[in-house]
Structure formats: structure tokens, C-alpha cells
Structure 1
Amino acid sequence: MWERVYSILLKEFLQVLRDPRMKAVIFLTPIIQLLIFGYAVTTDVKNIATAVYDLDQTPRSRELISRFFASGYFKPKEYVTHVTRIRDLMDQGKISAAIQINKCFAARLAAQEKVAIQMIVDGTDSNTATVVMSYAAKIVSKYNQGLVVEAIGLPIGASPSKGIDLQSRTWFNINLESRMFYVPGVVALIGMLITLMLTSMAVVREREIGTMEQLLVTPIRPAELIIGKTLPFAIIGFFDVALITIVALLWFEVPIEGSLLLLFVATGLFLMSTLGTGLFISTISSTQQQAMMSTFFFYFPAVLLSGFMFPIANMPVAVQWITYVNPLRYFLVVIRGIFLKGVGAEILWPQMLAMGAIGTMVLILSSLRFSKRLE
């Protein structure tokens, strides 16, 4: 009995080690995953893109603003001249926070009065928003301590300033509920996984059971075969996205503030890249097992480098550049913008253009390779 078990065990090992692609999956994948987890995955929140709306324009207000940017947590993005510009920047995802200082800030501090400043935070990512507000509270607290120290030098009988009152305001996710951030992202992730897996394994299955040869002797052309193979999975992808969206609305009570039509147009652009990648996987896989492993080889790095769990701004610059070729990065911006912010194509067109370009390129290259394999 054990001899037969050993023979089967040895045979399986030899089959795996003789296949260069399987060796790459076994040995290369863990290294790539380790590098991604080691460098890209971090829960630290830093380099928070911040807009400044300073109506006071005094040395005192500029000093407080400099405290925010000297902390290393906040990064100046733009000094705005109107509050509507803050909304525009936040809709476009260019800022995650904004500081508003009203007029008479310095004068009221000099008069030992309590002064309020406003911190506006993008609440689509509830975890990040909570951390941002805690950073702001810490900076203001230290600034208030400095005001107390200054008060020691005041004339006898003078009262120290009552300090600054930080008033935080959250947009898009008022209650900072994490499901508002993650549920729209899950819609994208499931759509990607389903189409990747089905496309890659379906073609390989045809090859395994021998029906691919039967298809090749028919008068069907390669382009027709590719369309016939990918179109059903595109329909399934749309169906899954629609199904999960309904569950998000009814079960998780995540609102859709934007256009459903725009959501499905963006989904179509995104599925172009996932179907193309699935088609490519089918050309480098000989068995369904290989196709499955190769699918996860593409899937997990795409998720980790998309901003689904960890802000891209927190990743090293070199890793941030890699994320620009990841279509999931753009789809997450689009789907969260439609669900939570209610923004339209006038804001999301750069992401949709990027998805369309990446999807077209991947689909063309994969189709050419698939056609070559058929020949």
C-alpha cells in the first residue's frame, strides 16, 4: 500500500517539477506575495492629501497650518479660495482632508477667546477618516499647549487664551461605517475573480477533454471562437455585479448616490481587462489546476495593489507606479465614487479612460496569443 502511495507521490512531484510554469507558481509566487506584503501592505496613514482654506491669512493661521504639514501626516495639495473647490477636489479623490480657518482667527486668539477651526474629512474610508481626525486633534492639542506656554509671559491679571476648538466634519460616510467603504469594493473583487477564473478554466477544460481539436476542424474563425468563449463570461460578470449591487442595497443598506447606467458602463470597461487576462491565462496553462493557480497569481497582487484594503498613497513610490497598470485600482475609484459620492462621468472619466485603454490592450494582446496557439 505505502509503496503505491509513494509511487503516486513521486509521480506528482516529478510532474510538477518538470513544468516550468508550475515551478514559477510554486517558488516565484510566494516571493512576490512576500514583497507585496512587506512593502505595499501597511495600516499606517500618512501623506494625507490636504486642501487649505485660510480666510484669515495671518502669521498665526499660517503657523497652525505649518504645524499640520510639519507633522509628516498631512501633505499640502492646494490652497483654495472658495469652499466649493474643496468639494470638487474631494469628489475627484485628489484630497482626503481639508482645513478651514475662518476670519478673525488671530484676533480672537489675541483677545483670549476660544476659536473654532474646521477639519473636513473624506469618510468613504472610515478607518482612515478616524485616524486623520485623531492626528488633527493631536496637532491642535499641542498647539494649544504652546498657547498656554505663551500665556506665562502675559501681564499680571491677563487671562490666557481659551485656545482652539477643532470641529471635525465627515463627508460621504457620516457615521464612519466600514461597510460603506468595503462593500462597493467587494462588488469589484467578485466580478474580477469570477470572470478571471471562468474564462481561464473554460478554455483549458476544452483542451483537456479533447473538444478543442473538434472546434478547430470546424470552419469557425479564431476571432469568432474568442468572442464565443468570452461573451458568456462577460454576461455572467454583469449578472454577478448586478446581483451583488442588489445585495449591497437591500441587505447592507449601502446607498447608490450616482448613476446605475454609469456603473454598468464602467463595469464593461473593467471586464474587458479581466476577460483578456483570463484568456491570456488559458494560453499559458495546460490543465485546469494550472489555470486555477495562475488565476490567483494574478488576482491577489491586483487586490493588494488596488487600494481596496490599504491606501495607495501609503505605499512606496516605486510600488505606486506599478498600481497604474492595475485596472482594479481605477474601478474601485469609480465604484466608490458612484456608490458614496454620487459623482458622474465628468469626474470619473480619467479612470474610465484608463480602464478602457488597459482593457483594450490586454484583450488585443491576449487574443493575438490565443489565435497563435490555435494555429
Structure 2
Amino acid sequence: MNLRRMLAIVVKELRQLRRDRVTLAMILGIPVMQLVLFGYAINLNLRGLDAGIADQANTAASRALVMDMVATGVVSPTLDATSPQQLMEALRRGEISIGIVIPPDFERRRFDGREAVQVLVDGSDTVVQSAAIQLAQLPLDSRPTRDAAGGRVARGQVSVVSFYNPERRSAINIVPGLIGVILTMTMVLFTSVAIVRERERGNMELLMATPLSRSELMIGKVLPYIAIGLLQTTVVLALGMWLFDVPVRGSVLDVYVASSLLIVANLTLGLLISTRAQSQFQAMQMTFFIFLPSILLSGFMFPFAGMPRAVQWLAELLPLTHFLRLIRGVMLRGAGLLELWPDVAALLAFAALMMAAAILRFRKRLD
């Protein structure tokens, strides 16, 4: 063991790390990112859930009750509905997470000690269910009513009715999201090393000699992986239905269309990374740098509504955020893609922007 020679290797490695800006950024960036995300962005106490209110009584007491619910900070009124049916449609489309129904005979129900208010909850997210139950804890002057079955929890005059997942099974919420997580991890990784691998193996010289245009090369790199992504979608979907009884309440075709949109968005992002990375190791590093915030900020692991507004704006730039809304809307709430068109448009715009950027950055040359 020669300490002098070993020290020379240590110095050499440090100098190489200093020249490798991507690795240096990962060394410093990942701890900072995790600290900021877990300390600032991640919040398990939901506040400001989008809520629709159908106050059919419209009395001083009913308006006071609504004000008390809003004062808890759990809900933020975004829809003034006229009927429970309107709230149900908004829940199905994902426009609101909670609906508050106050019937016309609110005063008589309150006087008799019966259920005077219903809180309709999008139960596809179990965390939202837990937050909604807080609304049923409001102090009321009437005696409590009996509990009811079928996902309904009565607390005094306020009853919480959970739709789409009354049993509060976590697998129903997780399995659809897993489709997006797996596609994000694999599709970005596969294509992020595509151009780099051609360069490292010496195949770039052969491609340079062909009449292929930049657009043809990039699109040709993407197309094979679309089929692979759809195969992964089928595997997760079949196993989820078989092992965990995860329902598909909407169209199966819509499930595959939504998955295809995410696949294309992730593949184009991977191609852009591939044009920037100098080695396959750098490409994998940059992929992890994208994958980490996608998992944490998209709403898969932690509730989206609990994040600060600035972080929510950042999460809107991630394809997985929009896919989770699409896949849960189609599979769990039975919504159609046309009803969820803002997220469809976001994924299409993201894919077009990333593909254009990748084509512009790519040059058919060895350097």
C-alpha cells in the first residue's frame, strides 16, 4: 500500500468531479431538493380543498354553518351549486374534492336532531376523506344521530358520504398512480440514454452518414418505446384488477389513451435529456433529478392540496401531475377524457415542447 499513489488517485477523482458539472450539481442539489421538498412543500394537513356548496335552505343559520366550515380552513368554496346532482357531476370531473349539501328543510332537520347537512367526498383519495371528516366534528346544538352503513359516518347533524372508495382501501388510490410512476421512471430512463448510447458505441458515425433528418431520428427513437410503455400499462392494470380488485369505471380505451399521452411526454423529456448528457451515467443522474420531484409533488405520495401555492405551480409543469388526474378520473370516477380536457391539453403541449427542444438541440456530429 503506497499512500502517495493512493493520494494521487484521490486528487485525480476530485479533479474529475470538479469538471463533471452534472455530478457536482447532483451532489449538492439532491440534499437541497429533499430538504426543501420535505420541509416546505410536503404537508399532510390538507387545507383549502376545492369545495362546491349547494345551500338550498339559504337561511341565516345555513349561511352561518357554511361560514363555520370555511373558517376551519379545510375547504375553499369554488363552486356555487344549486343541486346535489351538480355537485356530483363536479366531483366526477375532478373540479372539486368536497361537496356540501344543505337541504331546503335544514331548520326542521336541525330542530329534530336529524342529519341536516351532507358532505360529499371524492373518496378516490383517502387523505381527502380523512380531512373531510373534520367538517363533521363541528360543534352543533343538536343531539347526535345514529351511525349509518355504506361508507357513511354520521357526526351529529353532519354526515360524510364517501364516493368511489367508501371502504377507504389504499390500493384503489395507489394502483392507478403506479401506472404513471412506472411509466415515468422507465420511459424517461430508456430514452435519456438513447442518443448517448449511440455516441458511446460509435454508432453515431453511421447515423451521420445516412440521409436521416433530425426529426426522423428523434421520432424513430421514440416510437418503439410507446409499445413497451403500453405493455407495462397492461401488466399493471391487469395485476391491479386481479390482485386488488381495482375498478375501471370509465372506458378502457380512455385509460390507454391517457397512458399513451404520458408515455409520449416522458419519452420526449428523455430525448431532451439525452441531447444534454455526455455519458449514460450522466443521463441516469439527470433522470433521477426529474423523477424525485415527480414522485413527491405530483400527488402520488403526498396530497397535492396540502402543498403551498408556489409548489403547486411547479408541480403543474410535471407530466405525472396531469396523468394522475386523468387516470384516477377515468378509472375511479368514470369520467371521460373530454371532461378532463385541461390535463389532456397539458400533456400534449408538454410533449410537443419537449420534442421541439430535443430536435433543436440535437446535432448529427460527434461532439
State the TM-score, normalized to the length of structure 1. 0.88
Mark the runs of 5 or more structure 2 residues left unpaired by the alignment.
144-154
Structure 2: which amino acid aligns with 1:302? S
Whether 1:143 and 2:140 are equivalent positions in the alignment is yes
* Correspondent of 1:323 among 287, 304, 315: 315
Question: Does structure 2 retain, via aligned residues, the 8 Å contact 1:334–1:348?
Answer: yes
- Within 5 A, what are the aligned runs for 1:77-96? 77-96=78-97
Mark the runs of 5 or more structure 1 residues left unpaired by the alignment.
149-162
Match of 2:116 in 1: 116
- Within 5 A, what are the aligned runs for 1:281-360? 281-360=273-352
Match of 2:104 in 1: 103
Is the helix fraction higher in 1 or 2?
1
**Structure 1 residues 119 and 2: alpha-carbon distance in aligned structure 2, compared to 1, 3 A threshold:** farther
Question: Does structure 2 retain, via aligned residues, the 8 Å contact 1:123–1:172?
Answer: yes
Partners in 2 of 1:363 and 1:44 — Cα distance?
Answer: 38
Match of 2:239 in 1: 247
Structure 1: which amino acid aligns with 2:128? T
Name the SS of the counterpart of 2:104 in structure 1.
coil
* Correspondent of 2:213 among 200, 204, 221: 221
Match of 1:127 in 2: 127
Structure 1: which amino acid aligns with 2:176? P
Match of 2:72 in 1: 71
Structure 2: which amino acid aligns with 1:130? S
Question: Could you tell which deviates more after superposition, 209-218 or 92-101?
Answer: 209-218
Could you list the per-position Cα deviations for residues 193-213 of structure 1 after superposition, in whole angstroms to 9, with x for gaps in the alignment?
101111112322222222222
Number of aligned residues: 355
Could you list the per-position Cα deviations for residues 226-249 of structure 1 after superposition, in whole angstroms to 9, with x for gaps in the alignment?
223222222211211121111111
Partners in 2 of 1:108 and 1:185 — Cα distance?
Answer: 41
Question: Could you tell which deviates more after superposition, 211-220 or 312-321?
Answer: 211-220
Match of 1:151 in 2: none
Partners in 2 of 1:214 and 1:266 — Cα distance?
Answer: 36
Match of 1:53 in 2: 54
Question: Could you tell which deviates more after superposition, 309-318 or 79-88?
Answer: 309-318
Partners in 1 of 2:9 and 2:366 — Cα distance?
Answer: 33
State the TM-score, normalized to the length of structure 2. 0.90
Partners in 1 of 2:87 and 2:176 — Cα distance?
Answer: 24
Match of 1:152 in 2: none
Match of 2:63 in 1: 62
Could you list the per-position Cα deviations for residues 47-72 of structure 1 after superposition, in whole angstroms to 9, with x for gaps in the alignment?
12222222222111112111101112
Could you list the per-position Cα deviations for residues 281-300 of structure 1 after superposition, in whole angstroms to 9, with x for gaps in the alignment?
11221111111111001111
Structure 2: which amino acid aligns with 1:208? E
Structure 2: which amino acid aligns with 1:124? S
Question: Does structure 1 retain, via aligned residues, the 8 Å contact 2:132–2:160?
Answer: no
Partners in 2 of 1:328 and 1:210 — Cα distance?
Answer: 34
Partners in 2 of 1:76 and 1:229 — Cα distance?
Answer: 46
Question: Could you tell which deviates more after superposition, 95-104 or 221-230?
Answer: 221-230
Structure 2: which amino acid aligns with 1:102? P
**Structure 1 residues 22 and 181: alpha-carbon distance in aligned structure 2, compared to 1, 3 A threshold:** same
1:166 CA drift (Å): 2.4
Q: What is the Cα-based RMSD across aligned positions, in Å?
A: 2.1
Deviating 4+ runs (over 4 angstroms): 2-7, 372-375
**Structure 1 residues 305 and 217: alpha-carbon distance in aligned structure 2, compared to 1, 3 A threshold:** same
Partners in 2 of 1:115 and 1:91 — Cα distance?
Answer: 24
Could you list the per-position Cα deviations for residues 67-101 of structure 1 after superposition, in whole angstroms to 9, with x for gaps in the alignment?
10111222112221112101111112121111222
Question: Does structure 1 retain, via aligned residues, the 8 Å contact 2:322–2:347?
Answer: yes
Name the SS of the counterpart of 1:56 in structure 2.
coil
Name the SS of the counterpart of 2:50 in structure 1.
strand
Partners in 1 of 2:110 and 2:260 — Cα distance?
Answer: 55
1:108 CA drift (Å): 4.5
Give 1 or 2 for the bigger CA radius of gyration. 1
- Within 5 A, what are the aligned runs for 1:172-321? 172-321=164-313
Question: Does structure 2 retain, via aligned residues, the 8 Å contact 1:91–1:347?
Answer: no
1:21 CA drift (Å): 2.2
